[in-house]
A and B are shown apart, each in its own frame.
Chain A
Amino acid sequence: MSFKLYSRNGRLLKHNSGQIQLNETLFIIIFIILIIVFGLVFFSQAENDSIRTKQKEYRQLDSIVTTQYVTSLTELKCSVYGTEDQSCFEEIKLTAFENLTKNDWDLVGEYYVNKLGTAKITIEEIYPQSRNWTIYNYTGTFEKDGVAYDGKQTQIPVVIWNPLTGKRAFGVLYLTVYNKVI
């Protein structure tokens, strides 16, 4: 098959069928490459979204694990004859724990950083008195690497018990887990 191509002024352009076929092939190749590039861009975008969703999911999972860990910390919980009381923190232990992390960080620091990560844990007594204990505050190397962090806070109602007087108070545990913003 042969084609006749004309210029704007009506003159016949002389192209043989080989040249036209080559042009067709090139056009198809360029078209296919464009489709592939478009597909790859779309695919990588979808992959990125999926990674972001997964990371968010994992962060939430980590946050739940940390929350569970904090509420089950044997060093803070109320205990009588070895029986622990859920969601109850012993007042004397809270102060003792503050002293432990302050004075013996070399011994305990690595353990708590491994278990709790970059986080801040505060227990606030709401009633009858108003006071608070910052039992853990590790922000790692936030400023060094220039990466932004966000802190998601979880609040858990707790009982604060004084074993010397037997009195119980109502409080809230604030757990802020810091994560890198991606």
Chain B
Amino acid sequence: MNKAQLAMSFNWIFVLIVGIVFLTFFFSLIASQSKVSDQKVSATIAKQFQTILGTTTQKAGTFKTYSTPKIELSFYCDANQAMSRYSLNGKIAGYTTHDVLFSPSNLKGTKLYTWTQEWAYPYQVTNFLYVTNKLHMFIFYSPNEVLPADLENLLKIFPTNLTIFMMNDTHYPTKRLNNNLYTYVFFKNQQPLPDIILTEKSKVIIIEPNKSSNIFDSGKVYFLSGNDLKLNRDLDSFNNSYYFGAASLFGAIFVGEKQQYDCNMEKAFTRLLMLNKMYQYRTTEALKYIPSFSNCQYLYNGTSSLQTGLSQLLDDFSDTLEGGFLNIDAVKFKKLVLDLRNKNNRISSEGGCPGIY
């Protein structure tokens, strides 16, 4: 090999090495930029979702549709661990420690639905946020064309923009489609429940209202999976929780499982306790300006034997709420809610005597 040949091959080797270095550099640059771009999109969606949480919850009764890139949104809430968060495409995107948010634990798709409802029990506490998507189907059961009264009342408020399926003994979903979620909603008085439900990825909610005249007032909800219903066991052996008010009942329907439902109701009860404490301070403050021996003062302070005053009711309510939703004495809680409602109405009708809400 002469000198010129050697120089030629050296040039080629040199060009090859430099070429490889350049290519590696550009490929790694492209890869890192693509990763950064993905992170940017995720961060933007996370921020948008945070803003949705911050703003939509401030106005009750709003239904909104959001278009997003194809995302997987997961929600996790556990009251025992005091942990509530949401993840975007598998990565934690934010915490919802104080936001009452009812949603299935996993949502995939490009369209997000949000709905808000005010929870007032007995006074306005907070707005509940419900999140779901087009692929979440709510299936209601009506054996005849005429809807049962309970179901009719429920559907009067339930958003019509959601994917709703009215099922009877001959018309029902037969096949599970990709990613679809199915939530069957039954009332306890519809037993025996039909055995024609999809077992895979389906949830069953059975509602047992305390009063047939007002299904939203309070009651119990049972959380079952599609397979559970086929076991045909006693209903009380399945997971169940209390619901108080329409917003709380809708929460159970949207979330479809006990752990997430209880966790969010725990947050709502913490907020209720905070507001009740606030009203205790307000009562103490108002009493400084209310004339002695006036009707208003009697209503606030009560009379030793005839009536319990507002102050005492609020104190008792705070004591009942101390244990949170998980340890609530439902009967005592319901009674105090009723007493507070009556007391507030009585106080508000008295001239110059401010009600608490």
Contacts and interface: CB of A to CB of B under 8 A. Distances in A.
A29 B277 contact: no
A95 B4 CA distance: 94
B16 interface: no
A80 B278 CA distance: 17
A146 interface: no
A82 B274 contact: no
Nearest to A61: B51
Given A107-B277, A108-B277, A69 B54 contact: yes
Contact of B278 (A18, A81, A97): A97
Contact of A111 (B120, B274, B285, B352): B274
B97 A114 contact: yes
A82 B290 contact: no
Q: Which of B25, B120, B285 has the most CB of A within 10 A?
A: B285
B123 interface: yes
Given A69-B54, A100-B281, A114-B98, A75 B275 contact: yes
Given A69-B54, A104-B277, A114-B98, A164 B285 contact: no
B47 interface: yes
Given A18-B3, A111-B98, A114-B97, A58 B47 contact: yes
Interface SS, B side: helix
Contact of B290 (A74, A75, A164): A164
A21 interface: yes
A96 B285 contact: yes
B271 A111 contact: yes
A120 to B, nearest CB: 19
Nearest to B40: A54
Q: Which of A68, A80, A96, A108 has the most CB of B within 10 A?
A: A96
Interface in A92-120: 92-93, 95-97, 99-100, 103-104, 107-108, 110-111, 114-115
Contacts of B58: 68-69, 72
B171 interface: no
Given A75-B275, A81-B355, A108-B277, A164 B14 contact: no
B317 to A, nearest CB: 15
B293 interface: no
Nearest to B97: A114
Interface string B331-357: 000000000000001001000101101
A74 B233 CA distance: 44
A163 B354 contact: yes
Given A18-B7, A21-B11, A75-B278, A99 B285 contact: yes
Interface in A125-179: 163-166
B224 to A, nearest CB: 34
B53 to A, nearest CB: 9
Contact of A82 (B97, B126, B279, B357): B357
B282 interface: yes
B189 interface: no
Interface residues of A, number: 40
Contact of B124 (A18, A74, A100): A74
A66 to B, nearest CB: 8
Contacts of B154: none
Contacts of B290: 164
Given A61-B51, A96-B281, A100-B277, A164 B11 contact: no
A114 B271 CA distance: 13
Nearest to A114: B98
Nearest to B125: A74
A13 B125 CA distance: 92
Given A99-B285, A115-B98, A74 B275 contact: yes
A107 B274 contact: yes
Nearest to B47: A58
A25 B19 CA distance: 12
Interface string B150-162: 0000000000000
| List of 8 A-B pairs having minimum Cβ-Cβ separation, nearest first | A18-B7, A163-B354, A96-B281, A65-B54, A96-B282, A72-B58, A99-B281, A75-B278
13 contacts: A18-B7, A18-B11, A29-B18, A65-B55, A68-B58, A74-B126, A79-B357, A84-B124, A97-B281, A107-B273, A108-B277, A110-B98, A114-B97
Given A75-B274, A93-B278, 13 more contacts: A18-B7, A79-B124, A80-B348, A81-B348, A92-B282, A92-B354, A97-B281, A100-B277, A107-B277, A111-B270, A114-B97, A164-B352, A166-B352
